[in-house]
């Protein structure tokens, strides 16, 4: 039930931020659509710890998202320098790296974090926990191979698992 309430609150804030309308009719229609969406999600049993991982939010807001944002900015700068260089020193290649995350949310977080940073794209995930990654040059590859992002995603995941066990979820 907590996930349904949390999902409703999140959707309400998102709807208000995106619409910007505060007229009674539109607020009522927005509320009706949110209630219907939360009811359907709860009925379909997708408002759970993986479909709406609210337990990860405090750690993400304080530590992980600002760090990821900084990595995206640095990678954007590096890719822009590569593209604007007259010699275009681009050496694209595909390599494999191992992920240390244990849950689907953690694996998805790590794969998407790699893809969000310009210069690298996760092109495949394997059942053994390995990722195939395309890198635009050696510096982008080395950025992934330092495993700093992997460690941070694992810490992100473990914070959520710790909160999950404290809350008594299975």
Whole-number Å distance between alpha carbons of 94 and 103: 25
Asked if residue 58 has pLDDT above 90, the reply is: no
pLDDT band at 28 (very low <50, low <70, confident <90, very high): very high
pLDDT band at 78 (very low <50, low <70, confident <90, very high): very high
Q: Is 45 left (phi over 0), alpha (psi -120 to 50) or beta?
A: left
Q: Which residue has the higher pLDDT, 57 or 128?
A: 128
Question: What value does the mean pLDDT of the chain take?
Answer: 84
Asked if residue 68 has pLDDT above 70, the reply is: yes
Asked if residue 49 has pLDDT above 70, the reply is: no
Termini Cα distance of the chain = 15
Q: Which residue has the higher pLDDT, 54 or 61?
A: 61
Whole-number Å distance between alpha carbons of 45 and 4: 10
What is the arithmetic mean of pLDDT over 115-132?
A: 93
- Grouping H, G, I as helix, E, B as strand and the rest as coil, residue 45 is coil
Asked if residue 76 has pLDDT above 80, the reply is: yes
Q: What pLDDT, on the 0 to 100 scale, is given for residue 53?
A: 59
Q: What are the structural domain ranges in the chain?
A: 2-43, 55-167
Whole-number Å distance between alpha carbons of 121 and 143: 12
**What is the DSSP-derived secondary structure letter of residue 120?**
E
Query: Residue written as tokens 């009674």?
Result: 24
Select the highest-mean-pLDDT range: 85-89, 93-97, 99-103.
Answer: 93-97
């Amino acid at each position: 039930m907590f996930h349904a309430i949390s999902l409703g609150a999140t959707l309400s804030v998102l709807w208000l931020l995106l619409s910007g309308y505060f007229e009674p009719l539109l607020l009522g229609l927005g509320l009706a659509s949110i209630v219907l969406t939360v009811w359907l999600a709860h009925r379909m049993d997708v408002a759970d710890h993986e479909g709406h991982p609210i337990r990860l939010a405090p750690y993400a807001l304080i530590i992980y998202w600002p760090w990821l944002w900084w990595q995206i900015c640095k990678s954007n700068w590096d890719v822009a320098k590569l593209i604007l260089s007259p010699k275009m020193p681009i050496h694209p290649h595909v390599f494999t790296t191992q992920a240390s995350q244990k849950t689907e949310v953690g694996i998805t977080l790590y794969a998407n974090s790699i893809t969000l940073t310009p210069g690298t794209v996760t092109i495949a995930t394997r059942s053994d926990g390995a990722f195939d990654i395309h890198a635009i040059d050696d510096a982008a590859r080395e950025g992934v191979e330092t495993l700093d992002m992997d460690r941070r995603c694992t810490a992100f995941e473990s914070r959520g698992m710790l909160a999950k066990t404290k809350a008594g979820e299975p």
